[in-house]
Amino acid sequence: MVRERAHLLFAGGGRQDVIHAINTRRLLREPSTRRVIFISALALGACARTPHQPAEVRAPVARSTEPPAKHPPVVVALVVDQLPMWMAVERWKTLPATGGFRKLLVEANAIAELHHGHAFNATAPGHAALFTGGPAHTSGVTANGKLDARGTYESFLADPTAHIVNATGASDRTSSSIASLKAATIADSLKHARPGATVISLSMKDRGAIFGGGRTSDATLWFDSTSDAFVTSTAFAASVPAWAAPIATPGAAAKYRTEAWVPLDPKWLAANTDLPAPDLGQGDFHGLGKKFPHDIAKAAKPAKAFVATPFADKMLLDAAILAVDHVAKQSEPALIAVSLSSTDYVGHMFGPDAPEAWDQMLRLDAELARFFAHLDEKLGKDGYSVVLSADHGVPSTPEVMNQGFCGRPDADKYERRCEHAVRMRGSELAKVAEDAVDRAVGSGEWVLGYVEPFVVFRPATRALPKDKLDAAVAAVAQSIGALPTVARAVDVRANPATCPPAKDESLDALVCRSIHGGTGGDVFVVPKPGCFVDAEYVEGDGVNHGTPYLFDRAVPIIVRAPVDASVQLQETMPSLEDRAIVDQRAYAATIAALFGIEPPEAAIGGADLSKR
């Protein structure tokens, strides 16, 4: 019974069930032996792993004579959505000495290069990997989206039983939950080890916030353009916490759109990029325009266009400041997870080489400086830690790639060689698949559609006799695999039950670690370098990621442990070149070490970068 309750921590049980599991754990204390029996379970819930060594518990009458810690541990887990290592190497050294990235790097105790271990590098799989330590094969989060029974795209985290909640209460609009996640998160581990800990997770995207908050967060909030404010869902809470009301009241984002987006420092921008705009793939997102100035208020859909501007980062970090002020009053550990989405949206719409992408980095740098200054003021330099990384990287637009991208210093290191780049269309891949099945088993309606990175069959296709289903899958894999833009097309059913270890970065290993049973689809598609499936934010323009190449899966990881006043920090910004390489387990493993707790199951064995 105890193990059954504990399993709920890892298999998506309800909040009350998780609390019951924690309370059950408390009831198992045996004062006579002064031990605690700790409950543990595999992330997939298949069986229990060997329990952790029990910890000592003082007799009830004993009181510690140790002075209380100056501050309970506070860890700020930052994710910059779409921040490849190549971009950090290229751009951070150009940023001003007063900026947030320089402060973080100067105060860092560890700087490394993190390689995600899966082939489809996108927001949901990347965030799940960071916060659990496991790639999609373990986490079950294989994509950003999925197709409903009619073939309509919806969020991978969409849950018909969950509903949007903002500061005015719950609505009848359906929302998202964490039910799709099959592994424990670092937030789950923290709540398990320290039930009184505070966990707050914030992002402009549901898939950016949900994994950071885990299953029993105190607040998991993301931006909803319909509310024009931050929201949560009934899967996490019945109401928005009082401290978040300023950013969760409908219409709260309007005040961030009172000015047009123009370059913050035109001289700096001119010195660092000469890419013409809008000639090399820049898109017009909801009427935001292809080039400066971008007047958000005049966009066709201002609340939707808003996320693709730096002002969304400002709102998000204002929310993070409210969270800091809240936890500063607490006497328990706190995890504040913040996923910054604007860099991703800007990159998708304009491409990472556009003036907008450079200006976005400069403005984010300034906003992070403001946020870190607030942390210093509220918690003291020795009162908090920061762990920063990214969920994925990005290539350049095909227009940039096809017009002389060769020759940059990191072109070979991050597989950014000048190759023929093409935007593929998901609908075209679905058509190729449909025609292939028609030829193999006869005319019919066999393919539901394509949702990155999968061709998805209709239920009737999956129900075919084995010989016909085998023929259908083989035909699709052969036809799509023969396209000049595709490197490989893989039968999901043939994926091994056990994948190679994290140190294996071969394409076979990366693909294996991207598939979780039949979750997501039936044929996994790997584009060739430089090619990608159009994200269709702005059809035919912009860029997308989602490939196994280093420009998409190599990202920075920076760890800043509490800074003691007696520690002499270097004044010059350290180089990011030739840093040690770690896998995605390092993110959750390091956060766990900063709290002094066991990491989640999938992160065990990850590099601990916490020591100063």
Q: Cα–chain-centroid distance for residue 412?
A: 26
Higher pLDDT, 294 or 568: 294
- DSSP string for 512-570: HTT--TTSS-SEEEEEPTT-EE---SSTTSS-----SSHHHHEEEEEEE----TT----
pLDDT, tens digit (0-9, with 9 covering 90-100), for 334-392: 999 999 999 999 999 999 999 999 999 999 999 999 999 999 999 999 999 999 999 99
Q: Please answer whether residues 159 and 175 qualify as being in contact, where contact means their C-beta atoms are separated by less than 8 angstroms.
A: yes
Predicted pLDDT at 408: 62
Q: What's the pLDDT band for 415 if we cut at 50, 70, 90?
A: confident
Residue 61 has pLDDT above 80, yes or no: no
CA–CA distance, 230 with 165 (Å, rounded to integer): 9
Residue 535 has pLDDT above 90, yes or no: yes
Share of the chain above pLDDT 90, in %: 81
Summarised one tens digit per residue, pLDDT across range 94-152 is: 999 999 999 999 999 999 999 999 999 999 999 999 999 999 999 999 999 999 999 99
User: Exposed, middle or buried by CB within 10 Å (0-12, 13-18, 19+), for 276?
Assistant: exposed
What is residue 405's predicted lDDT score, i.e. its pLDDT? 60
pLDDT at 71: 64
Task: Please tell me the distance from the alpha carbon of residue 227 to that of residue 225, in angstroms, as a whole number.
Answer: 5
For 194-247, give the DSSP string. -TT-EEEEEESSHHHHHHHH-SS-SEEEEEETTTTEEEEETTT-SS--GGGHHH
Residue 19: pLDDT band with limits 50, 70, 90: very low
Q: Name the residue with higher pLDDT: 273 or 307.
A: 307
Q: Give CA separation, 36 vs 26, 39, 64, 300, 597, in Å.
A: 8, 10, 18, 59, 15
Could you tell me the strand order of the sheet in which 454-457 lies?
Answer: 447-451, 454-457, 523-527, 486-491
The pLDDT tens digits for 226-245 are 999 999 999 999 999 999 99
CA distance 391 to 347: 14
Q: How confident is the model at residue 153 (pLDDT cuts 50, 70, 90)?
A: very high
Question: Which pLDDT score, from 0 to 100, does residue 42 have?
Answer: 30
Cα torsion 325, 327, 331, 335 to 10°: value is -150
444 band by pLDDT with thresholds 50, 70 and 90: very high
pLDDT at position 332 over 90: yes
Model pLDDT, residue 339: 98
pLDDT at 279: 81
| Minimum mean pLDDT range among 28-32, 401-405, 511-515, 578-582 | 28-32
Binned at pLDDT 50, 70 and 90, residue 155 comes out as: very high
Q: Which domains does the chain have, with CATH numbers?
A: 1-67 (no CATH), 74-416+550-603 (3.40.720.10), 423-484+486-527 (3.30.1360.150)
- Kindly write down the DSSP assignment for every residue of 415-443, as one continuous string: T-------EE-HHHHHHHHHHHHHHHH-S
- Residue 593: the pLDDT is 98
Tokens 């309370």 belong to which residue? 23
pLDDT range class, residue 403, cuts 50, 70, 90: confident
Average pLDDT, the chain: 89
Residue 316 has pLDDT above 50, yes or no: yes
- Tens-place pLDDT, residues 561-577: 999 877 777 778 899 99
Task: Work out the average pLDDT over 176-205.
Answer: 98
Is pLDDT above 60 for 6? no
Specify the pLDDT at position 563.
93
Residue from 123, 528, 511 nearest 341 by CA: 123
Query: How much of the chain, in percent, has pLDDT values that exceed 70?
Result: 87
